[in-house]
Every structure is written in structure tokens, then in C-alpha cells.
Structure 1
Amino acid sequence: MMIEIERKFLVDTNLWCPKDSGNLIVQGYLSTDKERVVRVRIKGERAFLTIKGKTQGISRIEMEYEIPVNEAEILMQMCHDFPVRKKRFVEEIHGMTWEIDVFEHKNAGLVLAEVELSAENEKIELPNWVTQEVSADYRYFNAWLSEHPYATW
């Protein structure tokens, strides 16, 4: 079992510029219950099934398993609503790994940065392109975005 501790921020796209072409991620949700989220994700030539527990502060249980891509494609057909599509960019800044997601399709216009921590109170130095923190705002969870697209806000 793994505990995911993550902070999320909006990104000022006037200040942030991708350093590469990113990686396409397509993910769908088999369950979006707030007690448990079950996600299937296809990322390039790999696929994963992920189960996340209820969020407590900025922490939650996360278990992830690699699965065959053809099985992920079948599971994707069983998912709620529409899949979330995004390009992910990874940057190392001040010793931390930042994942910047540029959303596509119905969530186009949304750009989020996430950083995983080893403890909730871990100090981090924010990049200059980070704006508002949205870690506790459920609207920025990908499971929510799969049912309530950013384009409709």
C-alpha cells in the first residue's frame, strides 16, 4: 500500500513553457465514488489500473498495477462519461519532480501542476509559473473533470 501526498496548483501559461512534447495520457474512471476512485490509464505503450482511497487533507491511499494495453482499452469502454485526455510534462525543479498536465478535449484550457511529497508538511519552493493552490478543491481532481468538464464551468 502506498500513500500519495500531493499538492496541485494552477499554472500561468504566460510564464511556463514546455521543454519537450510531453506524453499523452488517456484515462477513464470505473468508479468516482469519493470513498474510492478506480481509474484505468493508457500512457504511451503502457497501461495501469489505479485504486485511490478517500482523500484526507492532501493524502490518500493509492495502489497502481500495470496491465496489458489491450485490457485497458476494454476497460476504457466500461468507464463513466468521457475519458480525460492530457499531455503530461515532467520537470525537475529545486530537487522536486513536477508534473504539469495540459488538458485536452472537453477540459482544454486547464493546466495543472502537481508535486508529490513525502510528508504533508514538507516545504517546497514554488516555480514562478505556479499560481493558485487547488489541492483541496475537488473540481480539479481528474475523476471530477471526467464528469464535469472544465469547458462547462
Structure 2
Amino acid sequence: MAIEIERKYLVHQELLPRLEDGTRMIQGYISMQPSIRFRVIEQDVIITIKNLQKDGSRFEFETIKREVSLAEQEQLFELALFPSIEKVRYRHPYLGLVWEIDVYQRENLGLITADVELPSFDYNIKFPRWINAQREITQDSQYFNVNLGQKPYTKWRSTDE
């Protein structure tokens, strides 16, 4: 069974390394519980099912369909519970871990987050200087992708940040 132990943080945007070779993705949700999402990356669609476990980890199952037609993609967007989110993801290796930096687009423009998947709960993270270690947002629901589709960052950032 695939289990995910992930931590998510805000970043010091001015300290970010040069971001290159990002992957543009459009993400939508077709179920909240369990979380069932789709990601469109070029002509591929990745379907992911996630479910929170009692210990804070998440069960995760993914499958991919390649060369999905525009008509099929449009059907997915119509099935989505709310507007999709768009982001560009960059992968940045650092001391044995890979940090995924998400630069959000459109209605979430201005938001940049970074997450890292850990090998164990007690793993001692060594933070890159551009990670704001005091701003862990792993459990902050307003930053969940599923919620950014419903209440985008540009709608709350002036009052909440």
C-alpha cells in the first residue's frame, strides 16, 4: 500500500533558487471524500485517490492515461466539483530529499509553496534557506489544493496574510 508522509511550507520568495524546467499542470477534483483528483499535464491525465490515515499519513493510489483527447479533458473539467487550479511545479533536490515547488497561476497567482515527501515521521528535515520553516502549512486547510479551487488565494490574501 502506498503511504505518503508529506510536509508543506511557504517559501521566502526572494531567496528561491532559479526555477527551471517546470511542469505545468491543471488540477481538478471529482470527489472530496475520499479525495479523487485529476491532473492534466500536456496530453496526459493522472488520476489520484488519497485518503487521510489516523496517523497523519495518506493512502495514495495513482494511475495515468496517456494522450488524452481535448474532448476527454473537457469532460473531466465539466465533472469537476469546482474550478480547477493551475500551477507550475519545479523539482529541487536538496540533501537527499526532493522539494517540489509549486508556483500557482491564474486565481492563485502570487502563492508559492514547497512540499517534501519524507521517508518517516521522525525524519530530521534539513531546510534549504528559501524554505520558511516557521510557516509550515501542512495542516492549514486554506492552502489545500482542493480549497484553493473553491476560495483562490487572490480572494483572501489581502485580509489573511
TM-score by length of 1: 0.91
Tell me the secondary structure at the aligned position of residue 86 of structure 2: strand
Q: What's the RMSD between the two structures over aligned residues? A: 1.6
The number of equivalent residue pairs is: 151
Deviation (angstroms), 1:148: 1.2
Q: Which residue of 2 aligns with 1:128?
A: 129
- 1:130 maps to a residue whose letter is I
Q: Which residue of 2 aligns with 1:147?
A: 150
Tell me the secondary structure at the aligned position of residue 121 of structure 1: coil
- 2:38 maps to a residue whose letter is V
- 2:152 maps to a residue whose letter is P
Q: Which runs of 5+ in 2 are unaligned?
A: 157-161
Identity %: 36
The 5 A counterparts of 1:1-150 are 1-33=1-33, 36-54=34-52, 56=54, 58-68=56-66, 69-70=68-69, 71-131=72-132, 132-150=135-153
Show CA shifts across 1:105-140 (max 9, x none): 111111000000111111111010111111111111
Q: Which runs of 5+ in 1 are unaligned?
A: none
How far apart, CA to CA, are the structure 2 residues paired with 1:58 and 1:113? 19
CA contact (8 A) 1:26 1:83 kept: yes
Which has the larger Rg? 2
How far apart, CA to CA, are the structure 2 residues paired with 1:32 and 1:43? 21
Name whichever structure is richer in strand by fraction.
1
- 2:89 maps to a residue whose letter is R
How far apart, CA to CA, are the structure 1 residues paired with 2:153 and 2:115? 18
How far apart, CA to CA, are the structure 2 residues paired with 1:120 and 1:73? 39
CA contact (8 A) 1:107 1:150 kept: yes
